[in-house]
Amino acid sequence: MRILLLSTCVLFLMSCGENHTVQGEWIKGTKEDQMEIIEEQFGGFSQTMTEIAYRYQELYWAGQDENWEFADYQLEHIDEALEAGLVRRPEREKAAEHFITFSIPQMEEAIESEDLETFNQSFEQLRIDCRNCHFAEKVPFIDVSIPKLRITPNYIEKEDE
């Protein structure tokens, strides 16, 4: 068993060497050029905001449906997207700090309360925080509103009361 484990580790380490060739015709140039091309493919903070915008809408509708588990899922992924975006663009950390320390924890508490009125109040505060951040980051033309149109199906139907 130890020999198998050791062999697997050696093969893995050998595969991590610098002898790999890049697959595909579109990644050319020096290693530095190739890394720059790959980084560009991951995108900057706009990729992060695209995911957050989607999950923001899903979070809203999950709350309206009182689907607290799905709301929590969306908020968790908003937080993860924000953290991943900060890896790519650490200069955005100051702008994100309010969300990490205040907005997201406040939404977590609202979701845990399982109270629609509390959720809606916290969601409105989240919307305001997003809008304020856009103004501070000099993109006030990116409006943040309460979603009016559901873009994905309702995942769990509410029980008739």
| Domain ranges within the chain, ordered by starting residue | 45-136
- Those residues whose C-beta lies under 8 Å from the C-beta of residue 33, and which sit 6 or more positions away, are none
Q: What pLDDT score does 46 carry?
A: 84
CB 98 within 8 A of CB 141: no
CB 82 within 8 A of CB 48: yes
- For the CA atoms of 36, 42, 45, 50, the dihedral, rounded to the nearest 10 degrees, stands at 160
pLDDT value at position 43?
76
For residue 64, the tally of other CB atoms under 10 A from its CB is 18
pTM: 0.74
pLDDT averaged per 10 residues in sequence order, the chain, 161 residues:
46 52 73 82 84 96 97 97 90 92 97 98 97 93 93 65 49
pLDDT value for 18:
54
